[in-house]
Amino acid sequence: EAEVAQSPRYKITEKSQAVAFWCDPISGHATLYWYRQILGQGPELLVQFQDESVVDDSQLPKDRFSAERLKGVDSTLKIQPAELGDSAMYLCASSSLLGSGNTIYFGEGSWLTVV
């Protein structure tokens, strides 16, 4: 069964350092999402891509977070500089089409701890 691939699975970084996460969606999935999930809370959408275009980044803290999906396939989420409050699980997800009713499949997530 095809899966969304993410790396690294775990990352510990010091405050003010840069950190990057990579995601490879299910083959053929045009829509890619990055979510942040703080322990005990629900997933929060950071950015949504349709192919290489950003569809929604209204909740992305753009002063320190950036995301790109240059060729419309894999994607990178970067945080610079990292802050203590960024400690969370970063989930990448994909779906086959943009629009309501398309199942979203999640990767295993990247756990970030900022010390």
Partner 1 sequence: GENVEQHPSTLSVQEGDSAVIKCTYSDSASNYFPWYKQELGKRPQLIIDIRSNVGEKKDQRIAVTLNKTAKHFSLHITETQPEDSAVYFCAASPNYQLIWGAGTKLIIKP
Residues that bind partner 1 (CB under 8 A): 31, 41-43, 45, 48, 50, 55-56, 91, 98-101, 103-109
> How open is the CA angle 103-105-110, to the nearest 5 degrees?
155
Q: Which residues contact 65 (CB under 8 A, 6 or more apart)?
A: 46, 77, 78, 79
User: Minimum Å distance from CB 86 to partner 1?
Assistant: 18
Name which of 20 and 89 has its Cβ closer to partner 1. 89
Closer CB to partner 1, residue 65 or residue 105? 105
Judged by CB, which is closer to partner 1: 7, or 81?
Answer: 7
CA count, 13 A, side-chain hemisphere, 11: 26
By beta-carbon proximity to partner 1, the closer residue of 27 and 41 is: 41
- Shortest separation between residue 26's beta carbon and partner 1, angstroms: 13
Min dist. Cβ of residue 72 to partner 1 (A): 16
Q: Nearest to residue 65, comparing CAs of 27, 28, 110, 35?
A: 35
C-alpha torsion angle, residues 26, 28, 30, 34 (rounded to 10)? 10
Least separation in angstroms between residue 81's CB and partner 1 is 27
